[in-house]
Amino acid sequence: MTNDEFKILFTGPMGAGKTTAISALSDQECISTDVLNTDIDQCDKAMTTAALDYGFIDIPGGGVRLYGTPGQERFRFMWPILANNAAGVIVLLNGEHPDLDTHLSVFVDAFWEQGAMPMVIGVGRLASEDFDVIERITDILLERHISPPIFSVDVREKDDVLLLVEALLCQIEVNEMGMMQA
């Protein structure tokens, strides 16, 4: 990786839209490891990521490497492997899911344990006036003394995913400037 290349990670539960988000945004053909979904009880969709997703965004003088994790906890061993050298993490959630609060806790805690890296939360499938869910997420995070930016997004929309990445890159840059001054 050059100095102007960042690796960032998309994580979150099954069906939150990690694979969709990376393919919406990538400037190169994505690498996907989706296989037939045998966890229909967890999420009713045809395919699921068994190992990782990979995409790449070109930026002047460098690029952003986009990695996606599997969502199932049984593939959790992949999370720290993929988090290695990541500059930050985007946690995607399904705002309609009944286990939203548990998903938030599981994924935020898992990646915070890797070292307090810059984080952004993207919540999908929210009605535009659904501020209660965002407030609840904010409260759960404040209990952990963290306050990452939280956005309502449609992962199928490139601009929404780009907003998440830009918010994360801003945090990464601020962190790097802080480290240079220290």
Ligand X SMILES: Nc1nc2c(ncn2[C@@H]2O[C@H](COP(=O)(O)OP(=O)(O)OP(=O)(O)O)[C@@H](O)[C@H]2O)c(=O)[nH]1
Give the interface with ligand X as residue ranges (CB under 6 A). Answer: 12, 14-20, 43, 45, 48-49, 70-71, 124-125, 154-156
CB of 15 to Mg ion, least distance (A): 8
Q: Which residue lies nearest ligand X, judged by its C-beta? A: 71
- The bridge status of strand 47-59 relative to strand 62-68 is antiparallel
- Cα–Cα dist 43/146, whole Å: 29
Complex with Mg ion: residue 19 or 152, whichever CB lies closer: 19
Q: How far apart are CA 103 and CA 42, in angstroms?
A: 12
Give dist(CA 63, CA 56) in Å, integer: 7
Q: How many residues in the shown chain lie near Mg ion by CB under 5 A?
A: 3
Minimum distance of ligand X from residue 177's CB (angstroms)? 32
- As measured in angstroms, the least distance from the Cβ of 38 to ligand X is 11
**Residue 19 vs 94, nearer CB to Mg ion:** 19
Q: Report yes or no: 137 and 123 within 8 Å, Cβ to Cβ.
A: yes
Q: Which of residues 6-65 bind Mg ion (CB under 5 A)?
A: 18-19, 49
Contacts of 106 (CB under 8 A, 6+ apart): 13, 73
> Could you say which of Mg ion, ligand X, none residue 17 binds, taking C-beta under 5 to 8 angstroms by partner kind?
ligand X
Cβ distance to Mg ion smaller for residue 26 or 49: 49
List, in order, residues 6 or more apart from 111 with CB less than 8 Å away.
9, 11, 79, 83, 89, 91, 117, 119
Instruction: Give the residue with the Cβ less far from ligand X, 144 or 156.
Output: 156
Give contact residues for Mg ion (rule: CB under 5 A): 18-19, 49
